[in-house]
Structure 1
């Protein structure tokens, strides 16, 4: 049984949730308990209307070295639990581990250092932004173990990388540095201190209406690979909902009277 939580979450005075992968002695390798704790946390954060942004980091020397192969691949029951789904098109537990961050209606920023491999890379790809240190390195590692990436990468990778870049990484299991990851779109930016850069970005975002942040996130997640018709419909519909919300008046007031800095109301957009 785990003797310490696999993840921790603290909410600071700016209503920014700081999530930390907390298995540094195992390079934050993902075991069954980490899958379960992350999935419970994303469900909880999705419902928190006061949370303005989320930053995810890893404790110790590495962000996440991937699956704890020894604990997971030798336990067939746990493997079946992760892969099982009630409906073919719905995410299973392994896929929710990555894609669950997309359902949180505020910016989710991953601050990455050291190794970000396999399941760790799929986890980070479920966020809205990825800021990496200069020494970070990345790999779609599953081919090394005779597997394919199956934790939501088929959704997340296509939105940040070209198909040929994704195929090259998935077929070779090669390790690339942060500069190459940035060049191919896998990383949003590279910074000397990724957590500080992530926090700075979070502060920029929360200067805007929480309803605007939620609407933008939902709009582009739902339409990035959709038909033009669906994109245009949702763009108009979400604009109407945001424009009629009370936080629009707060946003206008903050722009017209910067010194007053009225506080935004809790998010209403779902």
Structure 2
């Protein structure tokens, strides 16, 4: 894993100074790093979270969010590596692995409009505009992913996802997530729109340029996002990302308060 730079710090208000008590139980979450080959090289899809949000407000992130209990529905039509394979790669239960993959597909669709599913086990939707109302219903939790896919006769394409990393929010934080990172290539014909109320803007950007924006103070990055962007920047292309050998182990940083900022330390 890439070493965090000394100047990567978080705002002190992320953890109230008077926060005490036992560590909060983390919520399982899935994040998807969407990539594509642009004219000038590898690009990743980034969202800037709305500043007023309770967790990571103002931070630049990849699409993702918490697991919904309905994401574990085993009735989903599934193509690609089975839940047992994902459980082995992520070191978790088969039930959680099922929920994580489904959450990854659902959250990516909700936050970017990109749908990793198709009418058959070997095809993928080319245009998701027809599913706009279903997308809104998913966001409102009026519809589960399994219900949506079944109603449209779609198959979840787990083979379009790759396991990438697993980061657990430090024990010192009042809101904690056990987040499993996936990588997916933008399907041909689809576009990422970032039409979500959780983001103030969305953009495709070369990882190196996003890191340069962070260095210049134009972007705020969480440690997992910084590390992932640095890894993508080093790989440089969709082909290299797809061929990269990954061993996923849980990363649990610690926070050290230094004046009005928090320094992130990875053991």
Fold match (TM-score > 0.5): no
Larger helix fraction of residues: 1
TM-score normalised by L of structure 2: 0.26
Greater C-alpha radius of gyration:
1
TM-score normalised by L of structure 1: 0.26
